[in-house]
Each structure stands twice: as structure tokens, then as C-alpha cells.
Amino acid sequence: MSVFVRVGGVAHHVVTEGTGPVCVLSAGLGMSWFDWDAVVPSLTSHRTVVRFDRPGHGLSAPAAVPPSATGEAHRIAGLLDALSLPGPVTVVGHSIAGFHAEAFARLHPDRTAGIVLVDASVEEHARTPAAPALRTAAARGLGALLSAAGAPAAIGPAARHATVRLSRAAGGDPAPADLVRRVYSTSRVLHGTLLENTHYRAVAAELLALRERFPLPQGRPVTVLAAPDGSARWARRQRALARRLGARYEAVEPSGHLMMWDRPDAVARAVRDQEEA
């Protein structure tokens, strides 16, 4: 079922499938709901799977305010309320959405059944950048210039394909070509991606602050899936994240950063294993 629900005054595109305990899938920077297509079939027989596009991503409306860790955690809660799915839920966060999944667990512990971090972003010493309003204005100004020059329609889908190819061990972009054109030819997605990227470090720094104030809920499983892809440094950082969160660590190989395309079996298994635990 594909619907649009309003949270914080913004229309969010949400796809819900399956039956059973709820699992929320949130993709990384610039990604869309269909980037989970390979994972969903392995979950829907025993899970209610919720995929959504953050503002300015996929088919969702543009963002009303810049992103924050707290705001993204409350966004997930608001979507669940709008769908009448109170939880508890397992939140699966890929890349930057790993920040959002962890923030949700810390700020909504009673609604959290578990967390699965899929090659999640790691920032051990992030600090909030100065002049956030100026950064927002700069991101929006750049987006306006590129949109006026026709960049989204001219190179948006090609840029998407190139990014996916570079982020996969298998190469190629398996997403439906018609959906890629529909989504990535828009200035809305360009603006949304620029805005999230601009505030990446601010969100990371906010999460570090949340860790000091709000513990993870006890007894809720946390899994860190890493795609080292030959990088010992990335493996060390992901292992350190797992230790910090008291999580189970698994190196998924072969896989690139877009593990949901390269190894959907590993992502689905991590969710199922949490349910059994």
C-alpha cells in the first residue's frame, strides 16, 4: 500500500506491506523507498514493513525545516502515529539514517523493539558547524542555481546511476529505470539531498549529545552490519560503534555501501534474528 501522510506539515510518501511486528526501513542520503526492493520480499511474510521517503527524497514533499537528529526521530514516531502503528518497532537505518534510527531508540525507548544499522555513518568527534542558517541558505541557493540551469533533468538520473554503481560491490543500478527518472529528474530531490548533506555534521554532533543524555533501552537488540570492502579502518570504526552501542557486529562481504542491493539476504536475516532474540 502506497500512501501519503502528513507529518510536521509535510506530505511523506510511505509504502506499507506484509503482516506481523513492524519494521521501519530508512535509506541513506539521496536514496528512495525502492532502494529496499530486494530486502522487502524476505520480510513481508512475518513483518509489517514500512518504507518511507524523508522530505525532499523519493516522492515526499520538500523539507519545511533543516534536518536534525531529534527531528528525524520524531518524524519516524509521527509516521507510525499517522499509520496507527504504535509499536514497538524495529528500525533499520542505512548510512546517514543510522543516526536517525539510533536517535529514535534513545528518544522513544518504549516504541523500540530493536535497531539494525546497515553500514551506518560514523562520526566519533563531530562538532556542530557554525552559522547553520547561512549553511541552509547556501544549500538552497545552490539548489536554485542548479535547478534553474536544468541540472536535475539533464544529469539527475545519470548522477544517481553513477553513485549507485560506485557504492556497490556488484556494480550497476538495479532500480526500476522509470522510477529513477521520475524521482531524480526533479529539483525537489536535488534540494533535499543538498540540505541533508549540508547538515550532516550537525546531525552527527547532536546524536553524540543525545548519547550522553538518553541511554538506549535495555534489552532491545542492536545489530551493526558493516561493509568493510577491504578497508580495515572502516571495519575498526564499525566495530567501535558496535562496542559503543552494545551491539552485535557482522562484517558483510562481499558488499559495497548499498548493502540492501548487494546483500539483501544479510539485511533481512539481521531483522529476523532480532525477532527470534
The pLDDT tens digits for 50-95 are 999 999 999 999 999 999 999 999 999 999 999 999 889 999 999 9
Judge residue 246's burial from the number of C-beta atoms within 10 Å of its C-beta, 0-12 exposed, 13-18 middle, 19 or more buried: exposed
pLDDT at 86 (0 to 100): 84
Contacts of 21 (CB under 8 A, 6+ apart): 46, 47, 48, 88, 89, 90, 113, 275
CA 276 to chain centre: 24
What stretch of H or E contains 119?
none
Residue percentage of the chain with pLDDT more than 70: 99
In the structure, what pLDDT confidence band is assigned to residue 277 with cuts at 50, 70 and 90?
Answer: low
Tens-place pLDDT, residues 94-136? 999 999 999 999 999 999 999 999 999 999 999 999 999 999 9
Average pLDDT in the 7-23 region? Answer: 97
Bridge partners of residue 220, in order along the sequence: none
Please state, as a whole number, how many other Cβ atoms lie within 10 Å of the Cβ of residue 202. 19
Tens-place pLDDT, residues 24-43? 999 999 999 999 999 999 99
C-alpha cell at 40: 522487502
Task: Please choose, from the candidates 10, 36, 11, 57, the residue with its C-alpha nearest in 3D space to the C-alpha of residue 156.
Answer: 57
CB 140 within 8 A of CB 56: no
Contacts of 236 (CB under 8 A, 6+ apart): none
CB 28 within 8 A of CB 94: yes
pLDDT at 221 (0 to 100): 98
CB 204 within 8 A of CB 95: no
Q: Could you check whether the bond before residue 228 is cis, i.e. omega within 30 degrees of 0?
A: no
In the structure, what pLDDT confidence band is assigned to residue 164 with cuts at 50, 70 and 90?
Answer: very high
In the structure, what pLDDT confidence band is assigned to residue 275 with cuts at 50, 70 and 90?
Answer: confident
C-alpha cell at 235: 571495519
Tell me the longest C-alpha to C-alpha distance in the chain. Answer: 52
Q: Cell 534489552 belongs to which residue?
A: 219
> Has residue 220 got a pLDDT over 80?
yes
Q: Cell 536534525 belongs to which residue?
A: 68
pTM over 0.85? The answer is yes
- DSSP classification of residue 230: T
Task: Please choose, from the candidates 126, 128, 135, the residue with its C-alpha nearest in 3D space to the C-alpha of residue 66.
Answer: 135
Kindly tell me the number of DSSP H helices and DSSP E strands found in the chain.
10, 8
What rounded mean pLDDT belongs to the chain?
97
| Amino acid at residue number 221 | P
CB 89 within 8 A of CB 108: no
The interaxial angle of helices 151-166 and 132-148, nearest 10 deg, is 110
Spatial distance between the Cα atoms of 52 and 76, rounded to a whole number of angstroms = 9
In the structure, what pLDDT confidence band is assigned to residue 230 with cuts at 50, 70 and 90?
Answer: confident
> Has residue 276 got a pLDDT over 90?
no
